[in-house]
Structure 1
Amino acid sequence: MTTTTPLDLTADLTTLTAAICDIRSVSGGERALADAVEAALRGHAHLEVLRDGDAVVARTHLGRASRVVVAGHIDTVPVTEEPANLPTRLEGSGDDAVLWGRGTVDMKGGVAVQLALAAALTEPGRDVTWVFYDHEEVEASLNGLGRIAREHPDWLAADFAVLCEPTDAGLEGGCNGTLRAEVRVAGVAAHSARAWTGVNAIHGAAPVLARLAAYEPASVEVDGLVYREGLNAVLIGGGVATNVVPDRCVVTVNYRFAPSRSVAEAEAHVRELFDGFEVVVTDAAAGARPGLDDPAAAEFAAAVLGVTGGAPAPKYGWTDVARFSELGVPAVNFGPGDPLLAHKDDERLPVRQLRLCHDALRAWLTA
């Protein structure tokens, strides 16, 4: 039986981030990290700590006029072994230091900021609910935040929410929606030596790929922010043996759509594009409008951008701000790390962004 080194929430942010990353937590294997997070938080008397599966929630009860949720997921996409991107390694020093490794960007740097602040802020100006959840990097039905919303909605009750997804220490509003569908092509099986007696389903998928190659994704302005859409083939499969003409081919597509579209509208768009083929939607999640005109969001933007600089931008990927939007809780994305490096084998985080995000959130929470 392996044991996990306890997390020291008073350690410097770089050390804490490295410790969190080095506890492997690929989706479905979050237990060790969830245990470490729970144990570390239970050492702080000002927090009520709750657990559901491999999700951990810690919250203050100070009777403040408002409550905010600060949330982050603890799982990662799979670790690469060649070249290895765990354990983490630190290169450089001071403001130029960079922490390399799986999870540094997506999103254990943000989780480290959460944990450090959860431990340190015994008297925040707002009551805070800190959420650390599992299964974000897999299908929506398994998502730990979604499970909490279904089974413990009171845990997420708040006036505003911040999701510490990587934003390069900038503020990103809303998010695109996402839809996955299988475009199925039928054929007729035959011996490859007598191919004329069958119909090759893989060959029949050529028009599907041609439509995708010719597709021009839209850029859609929503509440002042421009969201870039995308529609791509992400998987293709067919065939049963090297001497059989395949009778079935499936092209899986992923549509990232602007938050002005509903899931139903996104599905209709995909079906129209692949008219003449069988289309089966396998997974879908609505996006979230920016919501930066909400007073709580505007206040957060003013406070945070006063520290980090810059201007609000759109979140192109899907994030769990959409779940908060469904709950009627305005939410934004704000965290350390370049989102363009998320899921890449050379994932790496400038450690100066840890301090920048930490200081901005601290200033807002203690105001």
Structure 2
Amino acid sequence: MAVPELDLAADPIELCAALVDTPSVSGDEAALADAMEAALRKQAPHLEVLRSGDAVLARTQLGRERRVLLAGHLDTVPIADNVPSRRDGHLLYGCGTTDMKSGDAVIAHIAATLTDPRHDLTVVFYDCEEVEAARNGLGRIEREHRDWLAADLAILGEPTNAGVEAGCQGTLKAEIRTSGRRAHSARSWLGTNAIHAMGPVLDRLRAYAPRDVDIDGCVYREGLQAVRIGGGVAGNVVPDECVVTVNFRFAPDRDGDAARQHVHDVFDGFDVAITDFAPGALPGLTAPAAAEFIAATGAVPAAKYGWTDVSRFAALGIPAVNFGPGDPNLAHTRDEHVDTTQLTDATAVLRRFLTG
């Protein structure tokens, strides 16, 4: 694919359309990364630029007291007959408009046009966010270019309807397993039904009372849900195994050990195996740079329900928030679109924050 020419100084709405019109499904971001790298090198001489795989990073070196990092992923989910982009009044339609090429457009425009920010600025456009965590470009950058992730505040351009969603929930998956003894269903008294033995597990889930946790004024609500159940051999066999998969969404005041222990406590007496885990992220809104950003937005921050890459920054000790145009409920849909007024508003907020 020919490398398109991006105009980073253009209206972020037009820039967003150009980004959408350059397909970048996870694992195939090279053309867009090439275009972003070329544009930054040509149009933003005040920035140091680094290429890492299909990620593009840029930063100022002005010697400011604090550094702010703006991050967005370049990749999208598979295209669903929604490229190229199209306009309908103030709505811009297309794959990635919400998740998260609108955020990328705002970040790129700010990076290229703001030559004298009051905080040093780092921007990170990374690859493979929409696929398995092992391929996420932020992990590679952390391993190979850790110094580029140093900051006093990280702002991830995930869609938040141009509001501020602070931190994020952690997520844990576990399998609860019951065992029995097979028998012919005509002589069921000779067996032990593993599915029936799962009843107390479902009772505990039904009676579970989630916590509401207030951190920095953001209320995180936990949840513990059965998301899958499997068992049974045939229509005439008493089953000897049943497995329920549960998902625990937990507030970021719990670390990994505490989250795992909680699940084991809830299902005490049963066979519990943790199969997946990702830590949450504390909002860190009392950090000076974060407090300044909240003041600049004029918004009341809310807790992030769900997991995002702010967790990676929090693990590095960097306060992190989600802030970007777009309705997250529209992400990954065929009619994905963004209200273009939110691109304009988000750009104004970041400019106000970074210029004082």
What range is the shorter-chain TM-score in? 0.7 to 0.9
> How is 1:226-305 mapped onto 2 (pairs within 5 angstroms)?
226-237=219-230, 248-305=241-298
Range with bigger deviation, 357-366 or 270-279: 270-279
* Cα deviation, residue 364, structure 1: 1.6
1-structure distance, mates of 2:190, 2:85? 56
* Cα deviation, residue 78, structure 1: 4.0
After superposition, the Cα gap between the structure-2 partners of 1:192 and 1:159, relative to the gap in structure 1 and judged at 3 Å, is: same
After superposition, the Cα gap between the structure-2 partners of 1:220 and 1:66, relative to the gap in structure 1 and judged at 3 Å, is: closer
After superposition, the Cα gap between the structure-2 partners of 1:341 and 1:190, relative to the gap in structure 1 and judged at 3 Å, is: farther
Secondary structure, aligned partner of 1:154:
helix
> How is 1:136-151 mapped onto 2 (pairs within 5 angstroms)?
136-151=129-144
After superposition, the Cα gap between the structure-2 partners of 1:41 and 1:215, relative to the gap in structure 1 and judged at 3 Å, is: same
2-structure distance, mates of 1:56, 1:235? 39
Q: Cα deviation per residue 1:2-45 (whole Å; 9 max; x = unaligned)?
A: 43533332332222212323433343333333233223222232
* Cα deviation, residue 243, structure 1: 8.7
Q: Cα deviation per residue 1:191-222 (whole Å; 9 max; x = unaligned)?
A: 88998877665666555445434433322112
Q: 2:9: which partner in 1?
A: 10
- Contact kept, 8 Å, 2:282 with 2:319, in 1: the verdict is no
Q: Cα deviation per residue 1:298-343 (whole Å; 9 max; x = unaligned)?
A: 11111222xxxx3122112222222222222222221112233334
2-structure distance, mates of 1:17, 1:253? 38
After superposition, the Cα gap between the structure-2 partners of 1:254 and 1:320, relative to the gap in structure 1 and judged at 3 Å, is: same
Residues 1:89 and 2:86 aligned together: yes
- Contact kept, 8 Å, 1:179 with 1:281, in 2: the verdict is yes
1-structure distance, mates of 2:272, 2:49? 44
Range with bigger deviation, 52-61 or 274-283: 274-283
Unaligned runs of 5+ in 1: none
Q: Output the amino acid matched with 2:143.
A: R
Which of 213, 218, 224 is residue 220 of structure 1 equivalent to?
Answer: 213
2-structure distance, mates of 1:13, 1:244? 62
Residues 1:168 and 2:167 aligned together: no
1-structure distance, mates of 2:228, 2:28? 24
Q: 2:351: which partner in 1?
A: 362
After superposition, the Cα gap between the structure-2 partners of 1:151 and 1:190, relative to the gap in structure 1 and judged at 3 Å, is: farther
2-structure distance, mates of 1:279, 1:30? 39
Secondary structure, aligned partner of 1:42:
helix
1-structure distance, mates of 2:175, 2:165? 30
Q: 1:130: which partner in 2?
A: 123
Q: Output the amino acid matched with 1:312.
A: P
- Contact kept, 8 Å, 1:69 with 1:130, in 2: the verdict is yes
Q: Structure 1-normalised TM-score?
A: 0.84
Q: 2:326: which partner in 1?
A: 337
After superposition, the Cα gap between the structure-2 partners of 1:109 and 1:248, relative to the gap in structure 1 and judged at 3 Å, is: farther
After superposition, the Cα gap between the structure-2 partners of 1:183 and 1:328, relative to the gap in structure 1 and judged at 3 Å, is: same
Q: Structure 2-normalised TM-score?
A: 0.86
Residues 1:37 and 2:36 aligned together: yes
Q: Cα deviation per residue 1:127-163 (whole Å; 9 max; x = unaligned)?
A: 2110111233344443322332233210111222211
Percent of residue pairs bearing the same amino acid type: 62
Unaligned runs of 5+ in 2: none
Q: Output the amino acid matched with 1:25.
A: S
Q: 1:120: which partner in 2?
A: 113
2-structure distance, mates of 1:138, 1:24? 16
- Contact kept, 8 Å, 1:140 with 1:285, in 2: the verdict is no
